[in-house]
Each structure stands twice: as structure tokens, then as C-alpha cells.
Amino acid sequence: MRVFLTGASSGIGEALARHYAVAGATLGLAARRRERLGELIAELPGEHACYVLDVADAAALQAAAEDFIARCGCPDVVIANAGISVGTLADAADDLPAFRRVFETNVTGMAQTLQPFIAAMKARGSGRLVGIASVAGIRGLPGAGAYCASKAATIAYLEALRGELRGSGVEVVTIVPGYIATPMTAVNRYPMPFLLPVDEAARRFARAIERGVSYTVIPWQMGVVAKLLRLLPNPLFDAIFARAGRKPRGLDL
């Protein structure tokens, strides 16, 4: 198996890289942090390709995709995992750059990750394009407008992509995580129900990818929560979540 993965230097991406490497896959690992990515590659069994890049850079992703295909062949799985999260307030002008950065990474970065591989997968007639979304995309949470909006956008983007590729042999998998124990969630100063260890999350993600599930919430308990959130009338939702804990602002992106 050949797997291309972004956001590979920590959190979910690192756990997925370790999972697939142990399973014998050939990996193309992309991330911003050169030192950490190099350390990870050195720890993994097998020979893998390493790409130091920012998913906001379309040209860098195109070059990485072309290099990986030339060296290893068209991947069987491409996982657009890179993502960032930070608290934002709508009335704070200082948060507008963070809002823009979150969208560049979480939404545009996902499209720029998947696009370079689509033609090769369609020509072969097989492959899986995977996007990592979030239950935060189900409803807008106060203090997390940028992150929630970006994840809602990724869910809609992946759904549209699934329709575009119907009948081509290329499958689109939308994974919607709840709370996973990663550096991204470690800064949260509020309860995180059904928090899942990152290694277990990676195993569950990989199973869903292998089955080609079009949309899945992991862990399943958060899928129940997501359905209930959709059913809450707006006045009740607003009253409950206006008082909920909020992600810290001003984090390093």
C-alpha cells in the first residue's frame, strides 16, 4: 500500500504514519516541521518519502505529489489531515489573520492536498481520498467561529467531491473526529467527553478508510452527540453553548 499523508509530524498524522508504516505501507509524509518530520521518518520501519511544506502552498503540494508518484507510484490512499485550531472572536480585529490562516490550512489546504492526485487515481480507476473534518463542523460554537466554519466547509467540500467522483472508482472518505488526545486538544480548558487516545483513534480511522466508509464520526458516541446537536432548537442551543468553555485565542499557528 502507498499512502500520502499531510500533517504527519504530530497528533493524528503522526499516529496514522506509525500505524501504516507498521502495516508495511510506503508513505509520503508532509508537514511543516522539518526536524520533527525527520525524527519520525528515522523511527519508522521501511523507506518513506519526506516533504517539508505548508499545505497553504499549492505549488509545494503539486511538486510533492509529482515526486511521490514518480518515485513510488500513484498512492492508494491520500489523507488530508493537516489542520490547525485556535479560538477566535467575531468582534476582535486582531483575530482576522487567524481566521484567514485557519481557512487556508483546513479548507484550501485540504483541496490543494487532494487535487494533485485525482487525475492519476481516475486514470487507474481506484484510490481513496480521505479528509479529516471534525464534529466542530456540525454546529457553530461561540469562540470557535473560524475552526467550526472551516470544518463545516471541509465536510461540504468532501461531500461535493464524492459526487464528482462517483463512478470513477475513486472513493472519498470523510472522517469526523470527536475529541482526540493530541497537542491540539491539550490546550483546551474545558471537559472533553469521550476523549480518545490518539493511537486508538488512528486504528479506527484506518479501519474506516479500509472499508471505504463515505462518512463516519469517531468515536461513535460523538456521532450520537452530533445528531442531538442538529436537533436542538436554536434558542436552546444558543442558551447552552453561550456558557460553554472556549478554545484559547492567540495560539501559535
Q: What is the pLDDT of residues 21-49, one digit of tens each?
A: 999 999 999 999 999 999 999 999 999 99
pLDDT (0 to 100) of residue 243 = 82
Give pLDDT, residue 241.
Answer: 87
Q: Is the pLDDT of residue 161 over 90?
A: yes
> Cβ contacts of residue 7 below 8 Å, gap of 6+?
13, 30, 31, 55, 81, 82, 83, 132
Band (244; pLDDT cuts 50, 70, 90):
confident
pLDDT surpasses 90 at 60: yes
Average pLDDT value for residue range 157-177 = 98
* Residues designated as active site: 147
Measured distance CA(190)–CA(159) in Å, rounded? 31
**Residue 228 buriedness (CB in 10 A; 0-12 / 13-18 / 19+):** exposed
Interval 91-113 mean pLDDT:
96
Predicted pLDDT of residue 191: 80
Give pTM, 2 decimals.
0.93
CB 226 within 8 A of CB 138: yes
* pLDDT level of residue 223 (50, 70, 90 thresholds): confident
Give the pLDDT score at 71.
95
Residue 117 in this model has a pLDDT that exceeds 90? yes
pLDDT band at 122 (very low <50, low <70, confident <90, very high): very high
Residue 188 has pLDDT above 90, yes or no: no
- Provide the pLDDT confidence category of residue 184 given band limits of 50, 70 and 90: confident
Place of cell 461561540: 142
Q: In this predicted structure, what is the pLDDT of residue 3?
A: 98
Q: What's the CA gap between 210 and 253, in Å, rounded?
A: 32
| Cβ proximity of 9 and 32 under 8 Å | yes
Burial of 27 (0-12, 13-18, 19+ CB in 10 A): buried
